[in-house]
């Protein structure tokens, strides 16, 4: 197995502590017993319990009486997540962080160190979450999903946009299943409720001219945010704001990885056409949408005319020219 050197990754024994408490929700377990079972001192158990409480995990009790939780906590640690995942390469290896700079940055480093296809990097909080176009991604503690999936697809770099679309489709289906509401997909892979975005995807790639070494697909989902920062409130939302419900992030991640596995296999076995067709089916942006595209050299308006076989979006500009979008930010034109 590949050995990777990661600073700040969650101690496996905290993972074990959470699993132990979750497997015994009806029972008060003494600090001494926990300490013995996971192989740390009682004072470390106490310190870690405090850390979990700071994350919102409701742990009852104290060092003298012992500890108990009443329901399985919604923390994305490997032991709790794995219980919900199916067999397969995606999610076989999970690196969890309570806090990290960016799960994409970590995954890119891991990719260079030879980490296998399907590895996941997931964090409760990011201090420097990366967004597209050099923006930052607002990564509020424990309310969102901040996850990067490392894939080693056997396809040419020109097909990379399709892998991003594959991820967007997987998020769409997972959210529909979870909330009962079908989100829209704004090309290439923003997930929207109405005109507001609740999920963004940033794909970073390490490739040669004719071969992808690996891609890091970073997915950020606003799940249980009650409020969106003022400067984003006009354009962003969360699952909770839209539906008035609180969601289990573990459940959302499990669904998402299942759909990702299925769309990825479809892409590898059936090819681009099937992915392009599916996107066209579920995205209001694929055809006949009036859009504004802001690029570094200027802004133009036009109407979408479907996807090219490689996944690029064709737009008939108001000046009469039809071109695929290579870069820039796309929004709905009024």
Q: Applying CB under 6 A, which residues contact ligand BTN? A: 102-104, 126, 129-132, 135, 137, 146-148, 190, 200-202, 218-220
Shortest Å, Cβ 102 to ligand BTN: 3
Beta carbon nearer to ligand BTN, 90 or 201: 201
Shortest Å, Cβ 105 to ligand BTN: 6
Closest residue to ligand BTN, Cβ-based?
200
Beta carbon nearer to ligand BTN, 31 or 129: 129
Helices (H), the chain: 12-23, 31-38, 42-54, 78-82, 103-112, 160-179, 239-243, 249-270, 272-282
Label the pairing between strands 94-97 and 120-123: parallel
Shortest Å, Cβ 7 to ligand BTN: 16
Shortest Å, Cβ 287 to ligand BTN: 22
Beta carbon nearer to ligand BTN, 21 or 138: 138
Residue 202 contacts by C-beta under 8 Å, 6 or more apart in sequence?
104, 130, 131, 132, 137, 217, 218, 220
Task: Using alpha carbons, list the distances in angstroms from residue 254 to 145, 176, 240.
Answer: 12, 14, 18
Shortest Å, Cβ 151 to ligand BTN: 14
Beta carbon nearer to ligand BTN, 44 or 222: 222
- What sign does the CA torsion over 202, 207, 212, 214 have? negative
Rg for the chain, CA atoms, rounded: 21
Beta carbon nearer to ligand BTN, 31 or 188: 188
């Amino acid at each position: 197995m590949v050995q990777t050197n990661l600073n700040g990754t969650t101690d496996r024994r905290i993972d074990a502590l959470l699993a132990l408490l979750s497997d015994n929700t009806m029972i008060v377990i003494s600090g001494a017993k926990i300490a013995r079972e996971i192989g740390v001192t009682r004072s470390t158990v106490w310190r870690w319990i405090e850390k979990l409480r700071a994350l919102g995990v409701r742990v009852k009790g104290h060092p003298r009486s012992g500890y108990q939780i009443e329901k399985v906590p919604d923390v994305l640690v490997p032991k709790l997540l794995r219980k919900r995942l199916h067999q397969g390469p995606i999610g076989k290896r999970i690196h969890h962080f309570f806090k990290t700079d960016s799960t994409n940055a970590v995954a890119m480093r891991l990719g260079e160190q030879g980490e296998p296809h399907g590895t996941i990097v997931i964090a409760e909080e990011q201090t420097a979450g990366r967004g597209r176009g050099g923006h930052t991604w607002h990564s509020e503690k424990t309310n969102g999903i901040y996850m990067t999936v490392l894939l080693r697809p056997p396809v040419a770099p020109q097909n990379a946009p399709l892998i991003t679309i594959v991820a967007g489709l997987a998020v769409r289906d997972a959210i529909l299943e979870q909330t009962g509401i079908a989100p829209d997909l704004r090309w290439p892979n923003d997930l929207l409720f109405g005109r507001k975005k609740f999920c963004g995807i940033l794909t970073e790639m390490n490739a040669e001219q004719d071969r992808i070494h690996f891609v890091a697909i970073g997915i950020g989902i606003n799940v249980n945010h009650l409020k969106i920062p003022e400067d984003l409130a006009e354009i962003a939302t969360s699952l909770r704001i839209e539906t008035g419900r609180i969601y289990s992030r573990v459940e959302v991640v499990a669904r998402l990885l299942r759909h990702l596995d299925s769309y990825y296999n479809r892409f590898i076995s059936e090819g681009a056409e099937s992915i392009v067709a599916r996107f066209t089916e579920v995205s209001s942006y694929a055809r006949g949408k009036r859009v504004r595209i802001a690029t570094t050299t200027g802004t133009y308006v036009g109407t979408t005319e479907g996807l090219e076989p490689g996944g690029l979006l064709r737009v008939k500009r108001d000046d009469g020219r039809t071109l695929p979008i290579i870069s820039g930010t796309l929004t709905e034109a009024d």
